[in-house]
Amino acid sequence: MRNVATEPIKGIGSVLLTFTSGKCLCLNNVLYVPGIRKNLVSEIVLNNSIYKHVLESDKYILSRHDVVRESKVLDLIHSDLCDFHATPSLGNKKYVVTFIDDASRYCHIFLLHSKDEALNKFKINKQQVELHKNELIKALRTDRGGEYYDPIYFESTGIIHQTTAPYTPQQNGVAERKNRNLKEMVNSMLSYYGLSEGFWGEAMLTACYTLNRTSNKKSKNIPYELWCKKVPNLSYLKVWGCRAVVTLTEPKRKTLGERGIDCIFIGYAEHSKAYRFYVLESNDSVSVNTVIESRDAIFDEERFTSIPRPRDMIHQSSSKSTTRAEDVSGGATSVPEPRKSTRARKAKSFGYDFQLYLVKGTRNETISQHQYCFNIEEDPKTFSEAMASRDVYVWKEAIHDEIDSIMHNNTWVLADLPSGCKALGCKWILKRKMKVDGTIDKYKARLVIQGFRQKEGVDFFDTYAHVAIISTIRLLLALVAIHNLVIHQMDVKTTFLNGDLDEEIYMKQPEGFVMPGNEHKVCKLKKSL
């Protein structure tokens, strides 16, 4: 009591706390003190009782620490389809589709020959997960692609098919981010471990397998643990792409000679406790360039197979071959020899040619050879090029981030173009921001106005350019050193240096964002762009 007075406790029990949202929270060990006219809640007791409380503007939010999401398993499935590589994978697959449970973020992926297989894979996945979880899928969220268009099927199953609004991929952000993360992981795996693009499918399956069993920076919960209700066993995981000697099974062993074959570890079997291997040497019963599954192998996780090599060390061959890949069920499918990537074909015009060849050696012995690996893929020059590229979904996300930022800052309003005025054009500037190791850091989009069409004294009177003054930077670094401070670098996505505009400047609506019914209107700028 604030006045140092005391009141007797008449009882201890539980209280059901009802929020304005209609949700209820049960508080245990609540003291009943009739002499206190107000209901009091102790923050310290709540913190020690797995509850957390947050003050946000004019709201008080109370929740449990162990509550991750309000949705239940299979309430909502996010899905997205993308063509990952121009090069077919083992098994001649060209597309990948993801199905992500919203509550657990557990992901199932399928490799496809064509886009029209997506709905059939959803039906297969639906049968499996509903039987396994004893629950029904309530809703499926996808973009507006036609591969899922089957209203009769969704009406018959009762599943609500949610689709994003036009040009708003962020409404299916869970699937978009998952595909981006998988793609970045696969690119890193292929590059670091020196395997050709033909292995992208196996890398994709392994990346998804690993992500399902690890936590992320946003949530400490592991998707596998939420999905399967048990802690995953990680002791059997191996470094993808490493060399291994696979022990042959009894019927395939020779009476004399080697009892193992050299292979590359390429992933984990889907429905058995076994590893998947790509065979490098032939045997009486096992052919080279085939995929086998085995649980018995000796892994050399410091030894890898192939590295890029400069043109003057390459021996060209005009012959072409077709290999065979053995699937899990024991059948065989025709697999074309992995083609050189678009990046490698472009590299020829710059005086380089990249091939992959087999080499023996540890990671330390071969790592120095990676100096020949360059990223020469060009950024799209126009909005249309970005929409036609294989990275279309990440370019869309970058473009929508820019538009959202512009609209949030009230940069323009739609208006009719006054008589005698001209509307300036605008252009999208699209760039891949690279890390020091050559991998992609992020995709960035900027909308710029074509100010070069303005005339001094008529359309503008002053010009501004933001520059870094080196003396200011040196002063800040000196203060950091003197006071033992820590420097934090911050990236400002959008800056409006000049503030509000006094002049009337009109701009054409940006490509890809012309408002329906307002095709003849223009953007009247309120702020600089």
CA 223 to CA 238: how far, in whole Å?
Answer: 20
> Does 367 have pLDDT greater than 60?
no
The alpha carbon dihedral of 87, 180, 105, 170 has a sign of: negative
> Does 297 have pLDDT greater than 70?
yes
In the block, which residue shows the tokens 């359309």? 459
> Does 516 have pLDDT greater than 60?
yes
Per-residue pLDDT, 343: 38
> Does 265 have pLDDT greater than 90?
yes
Residues 6+ away with beta carbon under 8 Å from 217: none
Q: Going along 227-302, which residue ranges are E strands?
A: 243-247, 260-268, 275-279, 291-294, 297-300
Rounded percentage of the chain residues whose pLDDT exceeds 70: 71
Q: For residues 54, 57, 59 and 61, what is the CA-based torsion angle, rounded to 10 degrees? A: -20
Which residue from 403, 394, 407 is spatially nearest to 443, judged by alpha carbons?
394
Q: How confident is the model at residue 325 (pLDDT cuts 50, 70, 90)?
A: very low
For the chain, count helices (H), then strands (E).
Answer: 11, 24
- Average pLDDT (23-34) is 79
Helix 173-192 vs helix 392-408: angle between axes, to the nearest 10 degrees? 130
In the block, which residue shows the tokens 């009892």? 259
Provide DSSP, 145-176. -GGG--HHHHHHHT-EEEEPPTT-GGGGHHHH
Per-residue pLDDT, 282: 76
Per-residue pLDDT tens digits for 54-88: 665 566 666 655 444 477 899 999 999 988 656 78
- Cα 476 to its chain centre, rounded Å, is 36
Which residue from 364, 355, 361 is spatially nearest to 317, judged by alpha carbons?
355
- Average pLDDT (14-28) is 73
Name the strand (E) or helix (H) holding 441.
strand 440-449
DSSP β-ladder status, 24-32 and 332-336:
unpaired
Per-residue pLDDT tens digits for 408-424: 888 888 999 998 888 88
Helix 173-192 vs helix 200-211: angle between axes, to the nearest 10 degrees? 120
CB atoms within 10 A of CB 105: 22
The b-or-e profile of 197-222 (16+ CB within 10 A means b, else e) is bbbbbbbbbbbbbbbbbeeeeeeeeb
Name the strand (E) or helix (H) holding 189.
helix 173-192
The better pLDDT of the pair 310, 78 is held by 78
- Cα 293 to its chain centre, rounded Å, is 29
- Average pLDDT (337-346) is 38
The better pLDDT of the pair 323, 361 is held by 361
Per-residue pLDDT, 178: 92
The better pLDDT of the pair 317, 100 is held by 100
- Average pLDDT (28-38) is 83
Per-residue pLDDT, 448: 87
The alpha carbon dihedral of 210, 212, 213, 216 has a sign of: positive
- What 3-state class would DSSP assign to 336? strand
Q: Which domains does the chain have, with CATH numbers?
A: 11-64 (no CATH), 76-228 (3.30.420.10), 243-372 (no CATH), 383-525 (no CATH)
> Does 130 have pLDDT greater than 90?
yes
Per-residue pLDDT, 331: 35
The DSSP symbol for 165 reads P
Per-residue pLDDT tens digits for 139-178: 999 998 888 999 999 999 999 999 988 878 888 889 999 9
Burial status of residue 147 (CB atoms within 10 A of its CB: 0-12, 13-18, 19 or more):
buried
The better pLDDT of the pair 349, 458 is held by 458
> Does 332 have pLDDT greater than 50?
no
Rounded percentage of the chain residues whose pLDDT exceeds 90: 28
Residues 6+ away with beta carbon under 8 Å from 36: 1, 7
- Average pLDDT (108-118) is 93
**Token digits for 442?**
């992020």
DSSP β-ladder status, 139-142 and 306-309:
unpaired
Facing residues of 309 across strands?
Answer: 355
Between the CA of residue 437 and those of 36, 192, 360, 371, 440, what are the distances in Å?
65, 11, 24, 10, 9
User: Among 145-154, 311-320, 488-497, where is mean pLDDT lowest?
Assistant: 311-320
Per-residue pLDDT, 326: 34
Q: How confident is the model at residue 185 (pLDDT cuts 50, 70, 90)?
A: very high
Per-residue pLDDT tens digits for 198-250: 899 999 999 999 999 998 766 678 999 999 988 899 999 999 999 999 987 66
Task: Please name the amino acid found at residue 380.
Answer: P
CB 525 within 8 A of CB 502: no
> Does 280 have pLDDT greater than 60?
yes
